Copies of this chain bind each other. A is one copy, B any other.
Amino acid sequence: MTRPISSPRNERLRWLRRLLGDRRQRRREGVWVAEGLRLAEEVCAAGGEVFLWAVEESWEAGDERAAALLAAVTGRGDPVVRVQRGVLRELATTETPQGVLAAFAAPRWQLDDLRSARGPVVLLDRLQDPGNLGTIARVAEGAGAAGLALTPGTADPGNPKALRASAGALLRLPVVRVASPPQFLESVGLPVLTTSGAGGTPYDSAPLGRPFVLLLGQEGGGVSTELAAVADARITIPMAGGLESLNVASACAVILYEAARQRRAAGAG
C-alpha cells in the first residue's frame, strides 16, 4: 500500500476541499462529497460511481462497520487513498472528525422521475438553509413523496450540510432544479397547495390523498408573491400559543404525513 497522504496541499485533497466548499464546482463536475461513516455507507449502498474514497489512517481499526465498508469499496475496485491522521480533519465541514470522505457522481434526475410517482411533489421556493433542505428531503422520502423541485436561489442539495441532514435521502429522492417555476407547474399539471398562517383550509380537511404540489417558501419570507398567486388553494396548520408559523421543515412533515395518512385511508377504503 502506498504511503498515506500527509500534506493538505495534496492535489486530490484540494479537489475534495473545492467540492465541499463550492456549489459551482459541484455542479460543473457533477460530483458531490459525503462525509462520515453513515453517509459513506449510503453512498456505497446506492451503487453509483465513486471517484475517490479518502480514508484516515487506521480509521477502521476496532470498528466493524467501518471495516465492512472499506472491504466493500475495495472489493468493488473503487479508488481509495489513505490520509494521515489530522489531515482529513482540515477538510471536514463538521465539528467532529469523520474519518472518511467519498466523492461520488451526483444523482441525475429528470422531470419524469417526479411525474411517475404517486406521492406529492414538494416545490421549494428559494429555501435558504441547507439543513432545512436536507431535513425536508428526509421527511419527504419517509412520507413517500415523489420528490423535490427547487426554484433558482434554493440551497444546493449537494451542500455537505444538506446531505448530512437528509440522512442519505438526497442520494435517493428525485430532486430537480426548475428554471421557470410557473412553466414547471404547468408541465406537471397537478393542483398546487401552499401554506398560509391563517385563513386557509385546515390541513387535515384538505384533500391530500391524491398527487399535488406542495409549495413551500423561504424561511422568514415565505413564498414569492408571483408564485403564491398561482397556487390553487391555501392550507393552514392550526397554531396554539403565540406563534405565527412552524419551521418550514416541521410544516412539511405535518402536511406530508397527513397526505400519507389520507392515501393509506383511501387504499384501505
Residues of chain A whose beta carbon lies under 8 Å from any beta carbon of chain B: 42, 45, 119, 131, 135, 138-139, 141-144, 165, 167-169, 172-173, 204, 237-247, 249-251, 253-254, 257-258, 260-261, 264
CB distance from A96 to the nearest CB of B (A): 11
* B243 close to A138 (CB less than 8 A): yes
Per the bound structure, the CA–CA distance linking A242 and B131 in Å amounts to 19
Known contacts A204-B261, A242-B168; A247/B143 CB under 8 A: no
* A243 close to B142 (CB less than 8 A): yes
Known contacts A144-B240, A253-B253, A260-B238; A139/B246 CB under 8 A: yes
| Chain B residue contacts of A204, Cβ below 8 A | 261
Per the bound structure, the CA–CA distance linking A138 and B143 in Å amounts to 21
CB distance from A22 to the nearest CB of B (A): 18
Known contacts A131-B131, A247-B135; A142/B253 CB under 8 A: no
* B257 close to A142 (CB less than 8 A): no
Return the contact of A142 from the options B173, B239, B261 (Cβ within 8 A): B239
* A167 close to B243 (CB less than 8 A): yes
